[in-house]
């Protein structure tokens, strides 16, 4: 009788834990940074990219947990599978060494901000040799720009630092997404926002990507879940609605 009672109690305990185990198996942990207006802890619903990731995985019956931290840590921690994946990323072939890279989703124009009083123009990157250009540590930009060792690149930890250095005349140009630059100027430096402008031509109209570490358990299943869900929310209009709701 005792043995039967122990068996029944054990079975009940296991049945209680099974749903939690199943939920954990269908949870994806992601790392990201505050990259307003695309994603950020202080944004409504943490921004367009956060909402897109949750909706895409939800369409494939996964839930998402997102942690925010500096970008270099985002990439390093995910590479070692401390998190399943990270986003948003610009595409580069080199990413495929350590990560499975998703299908693309909408991003924005990447280019240069400059001071309005500086008569800087360019047709090719060679035209910018004389200028000091702010970049962010471990950011992917464009293939041509990232390979351009002839350019004077000054590395900072984030975009706002570069914009402050631009306004302070310690940089001549800053590489940044147009919408990110405009948002940061408005939020953090409203008095100086009119002193700088986004230049033409743009370097590239960028798409964004999710990266899943190849060391992540079930990495293939998780990237497939995102890609399948991404197609669903693209086809049903959810992505367009998210873009509109977030001012893009």
The 3-state secondary structure of the chain reads: CHHHHHHHHHHHHHHHHHHHHHHHHCEEEEEECCECCCECCCCHHHHHHHHHHHHHHHHCCCEEEEEECCHHHHHHHHHCCCCCEEEEECCCHHHHHCEEECCCEEEEEEEEEEECCCCCCCCCHHHHCCCEEEEECCCCCCHHHHHCCCCEEEEECCHHHHHHHHHCCCCCEEEEEHHHHHHHHHHHCCCCHHHEEECCCCCEEEEEEEEEECCCCCHHHHHHHHHHHHHHHHHCCHHHHHHHHCCC
pLDDT digits 0-9 by tens, 80-121: 999 999 999 999 999 999 999 999 999 999 999 999 999 999
pLDDT attached to residue 11: 41
Q: Name residue, tokens 């307003």.
A: 36
Which domains are delineated in the chain? Answer: 26-106+207-245 (3.40.190.10), 108-205 (3.40.190.10)
pLDDT attached to residue 9: 39
pLDDT attached to residue 6: 39
pLDDT attached to residue 2: 41
pLDDT attached to residue 24: 52
pLDDT attached to residue 20: 37
Positions of the chain with pLDDT under 70 = 1-25
pTM of the complete model = 0.83
């Amino acid at each position: 009788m005792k043995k039967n009672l122990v068996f029944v109690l054990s079975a009940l305990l296991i049945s209680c834990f099974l749903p939690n185990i199943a939920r954990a198996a269908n949870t994806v942990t992601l790392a990201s940074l505050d990259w307003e207006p695309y994603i950020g802890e202080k944004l409504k619903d943490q921004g367009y990219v956060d909402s897109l990731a949750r909706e895409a995985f939800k369409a494939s019956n996964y839930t998402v947990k997102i942690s925010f931290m500096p970008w270099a840590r985002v990439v390093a921690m995910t590479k070692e599978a401390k998190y399943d994946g990270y986003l948003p990323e610009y595409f580069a072939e080199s990413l495929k060494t350590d990560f499975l890279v998703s299908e693309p989703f909408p991003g924005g124009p990447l280019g240069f901000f400059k001071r309005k009083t500086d008569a800087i123009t360019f047709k090719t990157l060679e035209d910018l040799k004389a200028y000091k250009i702010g970049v962010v540590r471990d950011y992917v930009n464009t293939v041509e720009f990232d390979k351009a060792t002839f350019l004077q690149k000054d590395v900072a930890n984030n975009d706002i630092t570069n914009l402050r250095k631009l306004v302070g005349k310690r940089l001549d140009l800053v590489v940044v997404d147009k919408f990110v630059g405009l948002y940061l100027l408005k939020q953090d430096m409203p008095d100086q926002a009119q002193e700088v402008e986004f230049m033409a031509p743009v370097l590239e109209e960028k798409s964004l990507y999710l990266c899943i570490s190849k060391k992540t358990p079930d990495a293939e299943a998780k990237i497939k879940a995102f890609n399948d869900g991404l197609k669903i929310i693209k086809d049903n209009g959810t992505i367009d609605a998210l873009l509109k709701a977030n001012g893009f």
